[in-house]
Structure 1
Amino acid sequence: MSISSINPVNGVIIKTYQEDSADQIHQKIDQVHQAWLSYKETDFKSRAMLLLQVSKLLTERKDQLAKLMALEMGKPLKAGVAEVLKCASVCEYYAENGAEFLADQSIKTTAAKSYVSFQPIGVVLAIMPWNFPFWQVFRFLAPALMAGNCGVLKHSSGVTGCAIEIEKLIIDAGFPENVFKTLICSSKAISGVIENPYIKAVTLTGSTEAGKKVAEQAGKLIKKTVLELGGSDPYIILSDADLKKAAKICAEARLINNGQSCIAAKRFIVVKEVVEQFTALFKAGMASKKTGDPLLDDTDLGPMARAELRDELHQQVLKSIKQGAKCILGGEIPVTEGEHAYYQPTILTGVKKGILAYDEEIFGPVAAIITADDTKDAIHIANDTNFGLGAAIFTENASLAENIARNKLAAGSCFVNEGVKSDPALPFGGINQSGYGRELGMFGIHEFVNIKTVYIK
C-alpha cells in the first residue's frame, strides 16, 4: 500500500510513499522504547541544549520547510515561514523553562520530607492533522522531549513530506538515535499503534469524531489522552468596539491558514446597533485578501488542502443559504482552469439558530454573521454551541470585557480585542466537544509525566 502527497493548487501528485507494514510500525515503536530507556536518564541541561539546536535548524531551514507546506497543503509562504519560526520559539521556550516546570515541589506534611516529582512516562503517540504540519507536532514534541519522554508521530497522510522532515530535524540536531520516529501509515493503522504496550499516552489534534474513537480505544487500555478537537469560535462585537480595528482583526482571524484552523474565527456575533457598519468594514477586509499561488510572496489566501474539503465546504454554504442565510460575498467555486482546491472568501449574514452555519463548524474561508439584541444575548449565542475552544470579545469597556472573558464565555481561551491564538507560554485546549487536556505552558508539559508523591517519615 502507498500514500501520496497531492498539490492542492493543481491536483498533481508530489510524491508517493510506501506505507509501513504492521511489523515495521511495531519495530519502530520498539526502537523508540529502547531509546527511551536511556534517554529518560539524561539531565535537563542536555535536553535543553538539543532543543536549542532544533530551534536553530528550524530557523535556518524556514524557507525550505515553508515551501514544502505550500506544496503539500497550500499554506502561503509567509504563513509557512511564520509557522516554522513559531516552532523554533516553542523549542526555545521549553529549553529555557522546562527544568523549572519539572523541578521537585516540596509539600509540607507530617513527614520528615515530602515532595512531588515529575518523571517521564515513556513513548507518546501523536496523531496530527495537515493544517499546521509543523506547529501541531512541535507543540507536543518540544515539551515531551524536555520531560524525558520519546515520541512517535502518525501525521496526516497528505503531509508525509513534512513528517519526514520533522524526524530529520531531530536527528540532525543530535538527539540520541530513535527518540522520535515518524510512522508512514494510514488512519486504519492507528488502532494497532494504540494497542502497542510501549505506547503510554496519546495526543490527538483533529476532528471531534476522530477524538471520540481514539479516546474510546485508549480509555479501554487505560492510556491517557489529550484531545484538541474542533471549534466554532465566537467573536463578539459590542456597540462600543473600535469597529475598524475589530473588522480588520476578524477578517484576518477568519482567513488564517486559508480558513482551516480550529481556532479560526467562525461565528461573528454583532449587537444590532452596529451590525450594518461592522458588516461593511468586515466585507471590505475579507474582499481585500489576495487569493493565489501559495508559492508567491504576496499571496494572502491559498487553496484549501484538498478539493474534496473545498467541495464539502461549498455544500455547507449552499445548505445554509437554502435554510435562510444570505451570501453577501463569495460563495462560489472558481471556474478558472487549474484552480484545483480554491474557495473564495465568503460571508453569510442573517445566520440564526437552525441554520447549518450557526450550528456546525465550518472549516474554510466562510464567515457567519449573527445579530444579537444586546450584550446578554451575544453571550448566550456565543455559548450556544457544543464546542468550547476559543472566543473573543471586542469592546472599549475593559472591566466589562474582562468579566465576560473570565466569567461568562465557555471556552478554553478567551481574548479581548485580539484574535484567538496559541502562545508557547499559555495553556491551550478546549472544553466540551472541543476536547480536554492542555498543551503548551507549564500545564502542557505536566500532561505526560508521572506526578509522583515521595513521602519520607
Structure 2
Amino acid sequence: MTPISSLTHAISINPATGEQIGHYPFESPSTLDAALSRAAAGFRVWRSKPVDQRSQLLITLAQVLRDNAATMANMITQEMGKPITQARGEIEKCAQLCQWYAEHGPAMLSAEPTMVEGGKARIEYRPLGPILAVMPWNFPIWQVLRGAVPALIAGNTYVLKHAPNVMGCAWLLRDAFKHAEFPEGVFEVINVTPDGVSTAIADPRIAAVTLTGSVRAGIAIGAQAGAALKKCVLELGGSDPFIVLNDADLDEAVKAAVIGRYQNTGQVCAAAKRLIVEQSIAQAFTHKFVEATRQLIVGDPLAPDTYIGPMARFDLRDELDRQVRNTLEEGATLLMGGKKAEGPGNFYEPTVFADVTDQMTSFKQELFGPVASIITARDAAHALELANNSEFGLASTIYTGNAQLAEQMAGELETGGVFINGYCATDPRVTFGGVKKSGFGRELSHFGVREFCNAQTVWVDRR
C-alpha cells in the first residue's frame, strides 16, 4: 500500500489501479508565509470591490469551470475514483453554485435598517479577512467551492489546504480562479503538513477557519481555533438515518435509499447509512433494496455507466473492512458483499446487512463506503428513537404517506437537515450543517454568506 503523504510530499494515487500519479512538495515556512501575505494583501483589495464586481467574477468563474469540465472531472476520477458521470455532475453543480450566488448573494449582504429610539440604526455585514479552509477529498471541487463562494461574495479571501490525495484538483481550482481573473491572493492554495495547518491557524493574518472532515480532525482544528480566539465552522461525520414507514411508496423509497447510500461509492458524510424500516414492510423493502443494489455497475470509474468505483484510499478500505467484519461477528446478517473485491485497485463489494441492532458497529460508527445497514423498527416512534440514538446529527430522511406525521417527526429529529420523501442533497438555496458530533456552523444559503461576516451595528445620533 502506498502512503498518501511522506515527510516531504503529498502523494496522489489512482485508486482504480494503485499507481502513483502525482507528488506535491509541502510548503516551506517561507512559501507558507508568502501565501498568507498574499491572502492578507488580496483581502484589502477584494473587500473594497463593490459586491456587483465580485458577482461578475463569479459568473466568469462559472464559465471557466464549464470550459474546463472535462479536465477537472477526469482529475477527480483519477485522484479519488469518483465515477466519471458523477464527477462531471460535480463540476456543473459548482458552476450553478457560482451563478446562484452571483445573482442572490448581494441581497444577502444588504444593510438591515432597524427601528430604534433616539436615532437611526442598521446592521452591516462586513468581511472578516482570510479564511483558512481544510477540505476533504470526497467532493474535491464542490466541497471547496460550496464554502469558498459564499465567503468570497462577502468580501473574504480564501486559503485552501486540500486533502493530500487530491492536490491535482486543488491546483486546477487555483488555475480556474486565475483564468477567471480574480485578484491575486483572493484564492490561495497551500500544501502543508498538520504542523503547517497549526501554524496557519495561529497566524494573525488568518481571520477564521473552516474544516470538513472527521470528528478527530474537528476536535483538533476546533481546539486550535479556540486557542487562537478565531471563529470556526466544522462539518464532520454522519451516520444518517433513512426512515421508511409502512405507508411509504416502497418503490420510491428503495430507489432513493440506493442512491442515497451508494452515490460516490458511499463516501458521503450525509449518505443514508442507517436504513430504519418499519417492521411490517421490512422484508419487502429488504428484498427490493438488495435486488436494486445488485443492478449497480461496479468497475472502471472512467466508464460512463459505472455507478460504484474504487474507494479513494487503501487505508480507508482496510478500516471499512474491519468495521464490516466486526458487524458480522456481532450478529448481523450479510445479504450481499462483505469483502474487498479481488484484483487490482481499491474496490469494495457493495454490501448489505440486515438484522442490525443499535449495539453493532455499523449502527454506532460511520461506515464511509458502499455498505448499507437495515434496521427494523417496531413503529414510527421506535424509528424516531433509533434515528436519534447516534452521536452524529447531520441529515435524516423520512419516507411516509402521512404528511402530518412526517412534519411532527422532523421536529423531533436531532439533525441539521430533514428530507421528507427524498434523499439528502445540498443546494445553495438551503443551508447545510450538523449538530452533536457532526459539527457546528452552516454552509450555503444566506447563513453561508454571513458565517464569516462581522454583523456590525451602526447607530447614528443616539441621544
Q: Would the TM-score normalized by the shorter structure come out above 0.5? A: yes
What TM-score range do you get, normalising by the shorter chain? over 0.9
The CA deviation at 1:98 is: 1.0
Q: TM-score, normalised by structure 1?
A: 0.98
How far apart in 2 are the matches of 1:251 and 1:440? Answer: 26
Residues 13 and 22 in structure 2, CA contact (< 8 A), matched pair in contact too: yes
Asked if 1:389 is matched to 2:394, the reply is yes
Q: Which amino acid aligns with 2:247?
A: D
Q: 2:393 aligns to what SS in structure 1?
A: coil
How far apart in 1 are the matches of 2:33 and 2:437? Answer: 31
What is the CA deviation profile of residues 46-98 of structure 1, one whole-angstrom value per residue up to 9, with x for unaligned ones? 00000000001111211111110000000011100111111111111111111
Asked if 1:379 is matched to 2:384, the reply is yes
Which of these residues, 416, 424, 429, is aligned with residue 428 of structure 2?
424
How far apart in 1 are the matches of 2:29 and 2:225? Answer: 19
How far apart in 2 are the matches of 1:400 and 1:87? Answer: 35
How far apart in 2 are the matches of 1:86 and 1:424? Answer: 10
| 1:331-350 equivalent positions in 2, closer than 5 A | 331-336=338-343, 338=344, 340-350=345-355
Q: 1:445 aligns to what SS in structure 2?
A: helix
Which of these residues, 435, 438, 442, is aligned with residue 434 of structure 1?
438
Match of 1:245 in 2: 252
The CA deviation at 1:186 is: 2.7
How far apart in 2 are the matches of 1:113 and 1:435? Answer: 37
- The unaligned stretches of length 5 or more in structure 2 are 1-7
How far apart in 2 are the matches of 1:450 and 1:308? Answer: 41
How far apart in 2 are the matches of 1:146 and 1:397? Answer: 40
Q: 2:222 aligns to what SS in structure 1?
A: helix
The CA deviation at 1:188 is: 3.4
Q: 1:266 aligns to what SS in structure 2?
A: strand
Match of 2:448 in 1: 444
Tell me whether 101-110 or 11-20 shows the greater mean CA deviation.
11-20
Q: Which amino acid aligns with 1:388?
A: G
Q: Which amino acid aligns with 2:331?
A: G
Residues 111 and 455 in structure 1, CA contact (< 8 A), matched pair in contact too: no
- What is the aligned-residue RMSD (CA, Å)? 0.8
How far apart in 1 are the matches of 2:78 and 2:119? Answer: 61
The CA deviation at 1:189 is: 1.8
Asked if 1:276 is matched to 2:267, the reply is no
Q: Which amino acid aligns with 1:212?
A: I
How far apart in 1 are the matches of 2:193 and 2:397? Answer: 36
How far apart in 1 are the matches of 2:171 and 2:179? Answer: 12
Asked if 1:263 is matched to 2:270, the reply is yes
Which of these residues, 320, 329, 339, is aligned with residue 313 of structure 1?
320
How far apart in 2 are the matches of 1:19 and 1:300? Answer: 34
Which of these residues, 208, 217, 227, is aligned with residue 215 of structure 2?
208
The CA deviation at 1:335 is: 1.5
| 1:56-455 equivalent positions in 2, closer than 5 A | 56-336=63-343, 338=344, 340-405=345-410, 407-455=411-459
Q: 2:456 aligns to what SS in structure 1?
A: strand
The CA deviation at 1:187 is: 2.9
How far apart in 2 are the matches of 1:263 and 1:183? Answer: 27
Percent of paired sites with the same residue: 41
Residues 201 and 225 in structure 1, CA contact (< 8 A), matched pair in contact too: yes
Match of 2:5 in 1: none
Q: Which amino acid aligns with 1:372?
A: A
Q: Which amino acid aligns with 1:163?
A: A
What is the CA deviation profile of residues 301-348 of structure 1, one whole-angstrom value per residue up to 9, with x for unaligned ones? 100001111111011000000011111010021112x2x210011011
Which of these residues, 27, 38, 50, is aligned with residue 31 of structure 1?
38
Q: 1:108 aligns to what SS in structure 2?
A: strand
Q: 1:6 aligns to what SS in structure 2?
A: strand
The CA deviation at 1:176 is: 0.8
What is the CA deviation profile of residues 355-395 of structure 1, one whole-angstrom value per residue up to 9, with x for unaligned ones? 10111111100001111111100000000001000000001
Residues 73 and 304 in structure 1, CA contact (< 8 A), matched pair in contact too: yes
The CA deviation at 1:231 is: 0.3
Q: Which runs of 4+ in 1 moved over 4 A?
A: none
The CA deviation at 1:2 is: 1.4
Q: Which amino acid aligns with 2:438?
A: S
Match of 1:8 in 2: 15
Residues 151 and 448 in structure 2, CA contact (< 8 A), matched pair in contact too: no
Match of 2:4 in 1: none
Match of 2:460 in 1: 456
How far apart in 2 are the matches of 1:60 and 1:409? Answer: 42
Q: 2:305 aligns to what SS in structure 1?
A: coil
The CA deviation at 1:112 is: 2.0
Q: Which amino acid aligns with 1:205?
A: T
The CA deviation at 1:36 is: 0.9
How far apart in 1 are the matches of 2:308 and 2:369? Answer: 11
Residues 7 and 13 in structure 1, CA contact (< 8 A), matched pair in contact too: yes
How far apart in 1 are the matches of 2:217 and 2:231? Answer: 16
The CA deviation at 1:452 is: 0.0
How far apart in 1 are the matches of 2:419 and 2:131? Answer: 31
